Structure 1
Amino acid sequence: MKGQKGFTLIELLIVVAIIGILAAIAIPAYSKYQARAKATAGLAEISALKTGFEDALSSSVVPSTAASIGGTSPTQNCTLTVTGTTIVCALVGAPTVISTGTITLTRDATTGWTCATNAIITADYKPKGCS
């Protein structure tokens, strides 16, 4: 008679334990990556509008809507708000840790563009170049 082939219960439990440990490490890292990616995508969307903003100002038009600088709101990542000196991205569909986050580009006539985030987007999630 042939011997039985397969895995023992202990071997299966060890595999399940290893998978559980890997998941416990990977899931928080992936969530952090998703949040950083969403914040970076929001910054990329509003950064693309800087040219339209500058064009409007050079034409003596004070930008007041996303459409006035060549954008649409909402986009895939942002709900845009435009004023005479700022472009604000309120993140849409972001992970819970930054769900109410905003990214603001502010134009100063002497220093140029600066980027800032609200307190919800902590240092772990801020896009590079934003303070």
Structure 2
Amino acid sequence: MQNMKINHAQKGFTLIELMIVVAIIGILAAIAIPQYQDYIARSQVSRVVGEVNALKTNVEDGLMRGATIITGYTDDLTKDPIEIALGYDSTKSNLLDSSAGTNGITINNGATAAPQIQATLGGDATAAVKGAVVTISRTAAGVWTCAVDKSGAGAGWKDSYAPAGCDAS
């Protein structure tokens, strides 16, 4: 009988190799998931600030035309306040709390040249930022400032969620 060579070449991975790979993936996930959640929260606050900032142009145009921006909109819940006040169309955000003002946006001090535009985060916003209020204020001189009131936000709020140029209080 001839001697047959048996080939014992390894095929596949051993159990210990698979366990090491799973452990590495677990460690990476433990680091990446909280970072991703912070990224989502920051991007949602920045998006709302951008959406509210987009209304500044309409408010400025209305003030230049002598329009009075009325507060306390309750007559038409299908439109944003600026649309009702100045006749502009605007997009509704899924990140705003629709119970706080009309579609989550409130315009205050409309009879003066120093209005405030406020947006309360809610809707599809993450739990850490729900309840935070973004306020864009205009002085009588025409200078706009931004502030984020975190007092209504969840326990997970971090000051880093407020975008640059917006004070977190």
Q: TM-score, normalised by structure 2?
A: 0.70
Please show how residues 23-42 of structure 1 align to structure 2 within 5 Å: 23-42=29-48
Distance in 2, matches of 1:87 and 1:71, equals 16
Residue 72 (structure 1) shift? 3.7
Number of paired residues? Answer: 131
Matched with 1:107 is 138
User: Which has a greater percent of strand?
Assistant: 1
Runs of 4+ in 1 over 4 A off after TM superposition: none
Distance in 2, matches of 1:18 and 1:122, equals 28
Q: Structure 2: which 5+ residue stretches go unaligned?
A: 1-5, 71-80, 97-103
Q: Does 1:77 align with 2:74?
A: no
Q: 1:31 to 1:130 in 2, by over 3 A?
A: same
Distance in 2, matches of 1:102 and 1:2, equals 70
Q: TM-score, normalised by structure 1?
A: 0.89
Q: 1:10 to 1:19 in 2, by over 3 A?
A: same
User: Which has a greater percent of helix?
Assistant: 1
Q: Which structure's CA Rg is the greater one?
A: 2
Q: Structure 1: which 5+ residue stretches go unaligned?
A: none
Residue 73 (structure 1) shift? 6.5
Distance in 2, matches of 1:53 and 1:112, equals 13
Please show how residues 54-69 of structure 1 align to structure 2 within 5 Å: 54-64=60-70, 65-67=81-83, 68-69=85-86
